[in-house]
């Protein structure tokens, strides 16, 4: 089975000229957590996820976690959370997105797609054909298509 056989062809995406505000609006409206970023030729140039946004708005310095992962001490960044959250809205998406995008070719075998999603610990994988975004595959897509006939 190949990627194009299970990929979702209705892909939510943003353009490289868009702001983080539009990304967050799409996250909320469509209940998603990541988007490919494309240029005017629909080529994938970056990927932005909820994790990229969390890294920007969270405090970064001297976070100490105890053995059960509760935050004990946070010091350093004095900018208020609300200020960081407001400041991110008007940033260009490329200023916080990942430029090295992990993606699959449309004819990639599903075993490879599953391995990448698992090993890289990512939720979705953009699919391209001839350098152009044509679909997206989620972990759920792989599970459904891999086990639906068996169960």
All structural domains of the chain, each given as residue ranges with its CATH number in brackets, are 3-147 (3.10.580.10)
5: pLDDT confidence band, cut at 50, 70 and 90? very high
Q: How far apart are CA 141 and CA 28, in angstroms?
A: 21
Regarding beta strands 124-129 and 132-138, do their DSSP bridges make them parallel or antiparallel, or are they unpaired? antiparallel
Q: How far apart are CA 120 and CA 123, in angstroms?
A: 9
Would you list the DSSP string of 90-141?
TSBGGGTSBSS---EETT-BHHHHHHHHHHTT-SEEEEEETTEEEEEEEHHH
Planar angle of CA 50, 15, 86, nearest 5 degrees: 45
Q: How far apart are CA 72 and CA 31, in angstroms?
A: 31
The neighbour count for residue 124, using CB atoms within 10 Å, is 22
- What is the per-residue pLDDT across 19-55, written as a single tens digit (0 to 9) for each? 999 999 999 999 999 999 999 999 999 999 999 998 8
- What is the per-residue pLDDT across 47-71, written as a single tens digit (0 to 9) for each? 999 999 988 887 655 444 445 554 4
State pTM to two decimals: 0.81
Q: What is the pLDDT of residue 146?
A: 85
């Amino acid at each position: 089975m190949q990627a194009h056989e299970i990929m979702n062809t209705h892909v939510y995406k943003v353009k490289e000229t868009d702001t983080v505000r539009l990304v967050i609006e799409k996250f909320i409206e469509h209940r998603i957590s990541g988007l490919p970023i494309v240029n005017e030729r629909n080529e994938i140039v970056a990927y932005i996820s909820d994790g990229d946004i969390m890294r920007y708005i969270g405090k970064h310095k001297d976070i100490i976690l105890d053995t059960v992962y509760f935050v004990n001490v946070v010091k350093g960044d004095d900018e208020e959370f609300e200020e960081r959250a407001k400041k991110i809205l008007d940033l260009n998406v490329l200023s916080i997105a990942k430029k090295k995008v992990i993606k699959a070719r449309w004819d990639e075998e599903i075993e490879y797609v599953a391995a990448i999603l698992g090993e890289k610990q990512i939720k979705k994988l953009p699919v391209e054909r001839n350098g152009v975004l044509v679909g997206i595959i989620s972990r759920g897509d792989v599970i459904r298509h891999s086990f639906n006939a068996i169960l």
